[in-house]
Structure 1
């Protein structure tokens, strides 16, 4: 796998962890799509955002919500693996994010499918347990 997916993935994760909706949105093509297909309609976390501006606005609205201060991401024990596909513009991220909290460590496992166009994200499908974000 080339370094492009690695760099794009790491920039995407950093923008999300720092709650920087503008930086996250700039990673998408102008007509890019962000989908979280397992999130039920009407939840705070957006199920589908179409277009860079909708991604910026939708994630900014989500990021203004208070952060759960009872748990923090443990970067040292969290892990991910990137999988290339037959299509050089598609890669899959398999992620285990570990959170430290009062009751101990918990892990949230998820899968993200990235489709790129001209070095930007044209489509991102984010599959995770929706109760983890509301």
Structure 2
């Protein structure tokens, strides 16, 4: 299954932040896929590293359930991203500005994600964002 970086990224974002569907999110990853959140402090409530599709599914399902009440919603029309390909065809970088609906103009959160893919799925995702977003 060969997908472009654009297709992989859009599928990941739709399954994750926009629909909070842990099953669909997990299916974007290889069986041994890894999510790393290097900026989270040690001992944070959310793990800094998730290994394997099933751990990703379970941890994200619990996280989305906790987020359900009173959480901010990303605004797809106001949010923006740029994908950067690299000399390695299995690596791309997403530069993201997510706008959350709220009072006034909403809040913008900027982050960078580095994707390493294998066979059209995410093998490793490094997510660099403000750690307070996970509280």
TM-score (norm 2): 0.90
Please give the per-residue CA displacement for 1:35-78, whole angstroms capped at 9, x wherever unaligned.
Answer: 11111233333311001111111111111103363643222211
Equivalent pairs, count? 133
Gaps of 5+ in 2: none
Residue 61 in 1 paired to residue 57 in 2?
Answer: no
The structure-2 alpha-carbon separation of the partners of 1:30 and 1:11, relative to structure 1 and needing over 3 Å to count, comes to same
Gaps of 5+ in 1: none
- Alpha-carbon distance in 1 for matches of 2:107, 2:86: 30
Q: CA deviation at 1:122?
A: 0.5
The structure-2 alpha-carbon separation of the partners of 1:76 and 1:102, relative to structure 1 and needing over 3 Å to count, comes to same
8 Å CA contact 1:94–1:112 kept in 2: the answer is yes
What does 1:1-134 correspond to in 2, within 5 Å?
A: 4-16=4-16, 17-67=18-68, 69=70, 71-102=72-103, 104-134=105-135
User: Partner of 1:126: helix, strand, or coil?
Assistant: strand
Cα RMSD (Å): 1.8
- Alpha-carbon distance in 2 for matches of 1:54, 1:28: 11
8 Å CA contact 1:46–1:59 kept in 2: the answer is no
8 Å CA contact 1:70–1:102 kept in 2: the answer is no
The structure-2 alpha-carbon separation of the partners of 1:61 and 1:42, relative to structure 1 and needing over 3 Å to count, comes to farther
Q: CA deviation at 1:103?
A: 5.2
TM-score (norm 1): 0.90
